Structure 1
Amino acid sequence: MIQLVVATVLFFVMMFGIGFILNMLMKTTWFPLYLLIIIVVAWMVYEGWTKGAMLNNLAEYTIVDWIPAVGGLVGAVLSGNAIQALRKGGYKMF
């Protein structure tokens, strides 16, 4: 249980940090989320070409596999919200 909590927090912090830095450098608010969506869609198309391998792989994932992934997704979304709030607050650097 402790490992699950640590992994979830780690994924959240990594995605938030990477997303925040990419948002500052690229000057776009939702770049990390778009990047994540593009990677997932490309993976789904690639796996779809094989004979049902994607569905078999997804069926083998458990809640322990999904919780850190959701933590990372939340971190990516919150990094976009943080940059957006800083820009509305008048910070031109972001």
Structure 2
Amino acid sequence: MYMSIVVLPISMLLFFVLFFGIGFILNMLLRMSWIMAIIYPVVTILIVDKVSFVEYFTNSKAAFSDLGSRLMNLGSADIFILSSGLAGAIVAGIVIKLLRKKGYRMF
């Protein structure tokens, strides 16, 4: 699928901000600095794959085979967008650690 040059940076920025915000809030509430960076691969699998979660346990071979083929067939724009989401989750962990180090207590 074709993506214009304007849509790609906007999508990357939106994914970065989205996962930074979600990661920041989860880090404040759960007091685990890297929770979103750990959860992000599961979120990515749910975004990319079209197989239901239960099928990974009932029909594992076909589900993981389909997941592998879908991950290998991702376009470069999709990879950039998903990578910016991961970067947002990692930056949220770094910011929380820096804020805690400087003495700010969140909840």
TM tier, smaller: 0.7 to 0.9
Partner residue of 2:62 out of 50, 63, 68? 50
Partner residue of 2:32 out of 28, 31, 49? 28
How far is the alpha carbon of 1:50 from its aligned partner?
A: 0.4
2:77 & 2:60 partners in 1: Cα distance?
24
Determine which structure has the larger helix proportion and give its number: 1
TM-score, structure 1 length as denominator?
0.84
2:103 & 2:75 partners in 1: Cα distance?
43
2:68 & 2:39 partners in 1: Cα distance?
23
Runs of 4+ displaced beyond 3 Å: none
1:83 & 1:49 partners in 2: Cα distance?
39
How far is the alpha carbon of 1:59 from its aligned partner?
A: 2.8
Aligned to 2:13: 9
User: Which structure 1 segments of 5+ residues have no match?
Assistant: none
Structure 1 residues 47-93: Cα deviation after superposition (integer angstroms, max 9, x where no partner): 85207322321232110110000000000000000000000000122
Determine whether 1:92 maps to 2:96: no
**RMSD of aligned alpha carbons:** 2.6
1:55 & 1:29 partners in 2: Cα distance?
29
User: Which structure 2 segments of 5+ residues have no match?
Assistant: 50-55
Alignment: residue pair count: 93
Aligned to 1:68: 81
